[in-house]
Amino acid sequence: MLVRVAFVDDHPILLEGLVSLYRTKADLDVVAMGHTTVDALNIVEDHHPDVIVMDLSMPGDSFAAIDVMLASYPATKVIVFTASSAIQPAVELIEAGISGYVLKGASSSDLHHAIISAHSGETYITPGFATKVIVSMKTSEMRRKAQPRERLHHREEQIVSGLLKGMTNREIGVSLNISEKTVKHYMTSLMSKLNVRNRVELVIAVRNRTSPRDRVAS
């Protein structure tokens, strides 16, 4: 069975090379390619690939796009393919639910293995880098046990801040320089994460999770 895969990267030569290379793989079917985070979202919405391989440093908000994919299109596995070896973004993305984090210094066989692993329900991290990520994740787990509260990412906190100010999705989008559509996707993700059904319940849940001291500070 062929694995339907899409590639998104803002470097044209790299992207063309990836597509040309992996189109020759007998177990892969390259269904789409793109250059921006908007392209990535459109590809997932229109083509529903089994796996999408995407860079982090592209026009648009890659983290927001990934959050939307994980919340709204769980059948598509997300692999981050990046030159960044920063630990914290990798930890946050893996904890959020991506299926692979591959550094661009890896071999083509590593990325191929990551794609097949992701489709099989496994998580793949570039060897060597994986050790650092695992250590950091264990540290994060200990911190979560000390503070057992659903953690929101930075962009989610920004969305919540606008929500508590009574801003519309459009106003939040303008203030954060993202599209209204992306804000709506964030709202959906937040409602799922906080187990609520609508905007009103989301506001109540957010207020309940914020301590009085936090509200005074804000």
Same domain (yes/no): 88, 160: no
Global pTM?
0.66
Same domain (yes/no): 173, 127: no
- Give me the pLDDT at residue 137, please: 73
- Give me the pLDDT at residue 139, please: 64
Domain boundary among 144, 176, 194: 144
Same domain (yes/no): 80, 184: no
Helix H or strand E segment including 100: strand 100-103
- Give me the pLDDT at residue 11, please: 96
Per-residue confidence of the chain (218 residues) as pLDDT tens digits?
899 999 999 999 999 999 999 999 999 999 999 999 999 999 999 999 999 999 999 998 898 899 889 988 999 999 999 998 888 888 888 888 999 999 999 999 999 999 999 999 999 999 889 888 888 777 666 555 544 456 778 888 889 888 888 888 999 999 998 998 999 888 888 888 888 877 777 877 777 665 333 333 33
Task: Report the C-alpha gap between 202 and 190 in whole angstroms.
Answer: 8
- Give me the pLDDT at residue 48, please: 96
- Give me the pLDDT at residue 201, please: 76
Same domain (yes/no): 105, 158: no
| pLDDT, tens digit (0-9, with 9 covering 90-100), for 62-104 | 988 998 899 889 999 999 999 988 888 888 888 889 999 999 9
Name which of 51, 69, 22, 62 is nearest 189 in CA terms: 69
Residue 191 lies in a domain: yes
Same domain (yes/no): 162, 115: no
- Give me the pLDDT at residue 143, please: 53
- Give me the pLDDT at residue 64, please: 87
Same domain (yes/no): 162, 72: no
For β-strands 124-125 and 77-82, DSSP reports them as unpaired
Domain boundary among 110, 144, 178: 144
> For the residues of 40-62, what is the DSSP string, one character each?
HHHHHHHH--SEEEE-SSSSS-H
User: Residue 38 has what DSSP assignment?
Assistant: H
- Give me the pLDDT at residue 95, please: 82
Same domain (yes/no): 68, 138: yes
Residue 139 lies in a domain: yes
Query: The CATH number of the domain where 204 resides is what?
Result: 1.10.10.10
Task: Give the C-alpha distances (Å, rounded to integers) separating 198 from 65, 148, 191, 204.
Answer: 21, 24, 7, 10
Same domain (yes/no): 12, 116: yes
* Cβ neighbours of 20 (radius 10 Å): 10
Number of domains in the chain: 2
For β-strands 28-34 and 100-103, DSSP reports them as unpaired
Same domain (yes/no): 30, 124: yes
Same domain (yes/no): 74, 173: no
- Give me the pLDDT at residue 185, please: 87
Query: The CATH number of the domain where 10 resides is what?
Result: 3.40.50.2300
Tell me which residue range forms the domain holding 165: 154-217
Same domain (yes/no): 196, 106: no
Same domain (yes/no): 192, 213: yes
Residue 55 lies in a domain: yes
Residue 149 lies in a domain: no
Phi/psi of residue 211, each to 5°? Answer: -70, 155
